[in-house]
Chain A
Amino acid sequence: MSHVVAAKGPRKVRADRSDYLLRGSSYLTVTAFAAFCALPFILIVSASFSSESAIMREGFGLLPKDFTFAAYEYIFRAPRQIIGSYVVTVVMTVAGTSLGLFIIAMTGYALQRKDFPFRNQISFFIYFTTLFSAGLAPTYIWISRYLGLRGNYLAVFLPLLMTPWLIILMKNFMRTVPYEIVESGKVDGAGDFRIFFRLVLPMMKPALATIGLFLALGYWNEWYLSSLYLGSTVEFKPLQYHLYNIINTANALRNSVAGSNVSITELPSNTLKMASAVVATGPIVLLYPFVQKYFVSGITVGAVKG
């Protein structure tokens, strides 16, 4: 095939032209796709800085209309709700990520130790839960009725601690630790836990960062378990569930800004929804450039094999 092309004429020029064509269209397409990805964020941020009357008149657009901080002022005039939600989410994220990370690391370490005779059985025991599950309804009844966790933050906190996939990912990372390390620890008379904690963990910083990030994101973005088990039973809902309610129910929107002494019709509801979205999403987007590389390593190591 390449032979035919080579015979046809001045090959360098020919090859170069198609190369430049591909490169040029790559730049164009990638730029266009990046713009497509960024567009919704721009729409929301612009809307949050627009005045409600301009939105009612002209609708949402790419640029802020009648630039104003009014919607943010509304949110922070009575910030009790949003601060409460922030505290709940931050506490859950920090505590859940640390605890989950510790358990996942211990398990991943033990399961990759080739001299641990139960590793296959335990791995299968964990992995099987991805193949077959009880389904939502029995799980819901089990957690809310038998464990009695309805209305309890634990119903949201505990199920997010780990997933089989994260344990497998950790196991893959742990495989990169040379067995000599474990052996040298043994020679020095250290127990298995001490070897793990003193020798292995410090080497695992990239893995901990990657998996910690997935856990943190799971906690930060959580709204689903909250909708199942918390509903309206708690005063301070996790942040994303708080946002979910603001978007979907007019009452939640009103309660979120000033309690019940404002009528729904007076509220700048369109811009308020957008500003709430910015407030609830902001930190994760700001943090994102610093942690991006860990996600890349997570998906590439995870794709190697389970």
Chain B
Amino acid sequence: MVMQASVATPPRVGQHEIVRTRRRKTLLGRIVQHRVLLLMCLPAIAFFVVFSYAPMPGAWIAFTNFNYRDGIFGSPFVGLRNFEFLIKSGQLWLLTKNTILYNVAFIVLGNILQIALAIMLNEIRSKYFKKISQAVMFLPYFISVVLIGVIAFNLLNYDTGALNALIEQTGGDPIKIYSIAGAWPIIIVLFQLWQSTGYGSIVYFAAIMGIDNSLFEAAAIDGASAWQRIRYIILPSLKPTFIILLLFALGGIMQGNFGLFWNLVGNNAALFQTTDIIETSVYRMIISQNNFTSSTAVGLYQSLFGFAAVMLCNWIVRRINEDYALF
């Protein structure tokens, strides 16, 4: 539907444009002519100016020894010293490593599970069953991350946690999960999958629904098994969707899911080695240490590398299929 509409309109618009540009050519003229449409965009433009563009010059703090009294541009310039400190202390490397490794785990496991789930949902014939099970699987996506913190507390706390209750019932000794750093990568990945797998499977499910039915009919006549149907029809037709989603996810590889990490780990320093990502570290620097120089430096580093990652991935997408490129 979307495609049809955009294909159908251009010729008409083309004529329109020729007539208009012949009449008025100057920028001012065009502004006056389209003042209403411009005005309609104005609130959104103002919004992004105020909340996205205006703070950008503040990134200069990364190169200063910032203090409130002198302000952003009055504070002493220190060059790259803030970055030097972050690199030498090993913090920048730890944060980068954690952020990227978590994202890789989320992307790989998330996509595998989403595809598997979509294929299985497609096999289910009972409409009623499909509706109910989908509703339950989407539910985690709806709730706030604060509730994830509550769930973790319910499951994992030492004194009354459901997991330790179960361990004690079966005669084991309770575990202090909140002080075992090695356990948390698994816990965090599980919570992420819990929250996003059901919802994420919709895209793949829609792609399977879009497969030409005659392919399945032909396969049935040839006596293809269920496995062959998946292997030779479904998986190949999911490939473009998968590649595009993968590349976009890779574009965001430097961005962490702050809410999830913060509500699961928070200020628990015993776990930082395995759980601290860029966002949580920056948040802590601001909220509990009032450290604006390091946090700005880390943020700028993240923005620049994130920008490079998106550009690279978009370039690759463009080479595969121009229609899917973001710009």
Contact = CB atoms under 8 A, between A and B. Distances in A.
A178 to B, nearest CB: 6
Interface in A176-232: 176-179, 183, 191-193, 196, 217, 220-224, 227-228
Interface stretch (B96-104, B139-147, B178-186, B269-277): B139-147
A164 B53 CA distance: 13
Given A6-B223, A40-B155, A224-B259, 18 more contacts: A14-B225, A34-B136, A40-B151, A44-B147, A60-B165, A125-B45, A133-B52, A134-B59, A134-B299, A136-B282, A137-B58, A138-B58, A138-B72, A240-B146, A244-B146, A280-B147, A284-B142, A299-B203
A178 B119 CA distance: 35
A225 B299 CA distance: 17
Contact of B307 (A109, A127, A131): A131
Interface of B: 1-2, 5-6, 8-10, 12-13, 16-17, 20, 30, 34, 36-41, 43-45, 47-48, 50-59, 61, 68, 72, 116-117, 119-121, 123-125, 129, 132-147, 149-151, 153-155, 159-162, 164-165, 168, 194, 197-199, 202-203, 206, 219-220, 222-228, 230, 232, 241, 258-259, 263, 266, 279, 282-283, 285-287, 292, 295-296, 298-300, 302-303, 306-307, 310-311, 323-324, 326-327
Contacts of B30: 117-118
Given A15-B220, A30-B117, A223-B144, A138 B13 contact: no
Interface string A102-140: 011011011101111110001011110101111111111
Contact of B40 (A5, A12, A106, A183): A106
A275 to B, nearest CB: 11
A277 B154 CA distance: 11
Contacts of A125: 45, 48
Interface stretch (A71-79, A80-88, A155-163): A155-163
Given A126-B48, A138-B55, A142-B55, A3 B222 contact: yes
Interface of A: 1-3, 5-6, 11-12, 14-15, 18-19, 21-23, 25-27, 29-31, 33-34, 36-38, 40-41, 43-44, 47, 55-56, 58-62, 103-104, 106-107, 109-111, 113-118, 122, 124-127, 129, 131-143, 145, 147, 158-159, 161-162, 164, 167, 172, 175-179, 183, 191-193, 196, 217, 220-224, 227-228, 240-241, 243-244, 247-248, 270, 273-274, 277, 280-281, 284-285, 288-289, 292, 295-296, 299-301, 303-306
A27 to B, nearest CB: 6
Contacts of B161: 59-60
Contacts of B266: 248
B48 to A, nearest CB: 5
The SS class assigned to the B binding surface is helix
The SS class assigned to the A binding surface is helix
Contacts of B299: 134-138
B172 to A, nearest CB: 13
B135 A139 contact: no
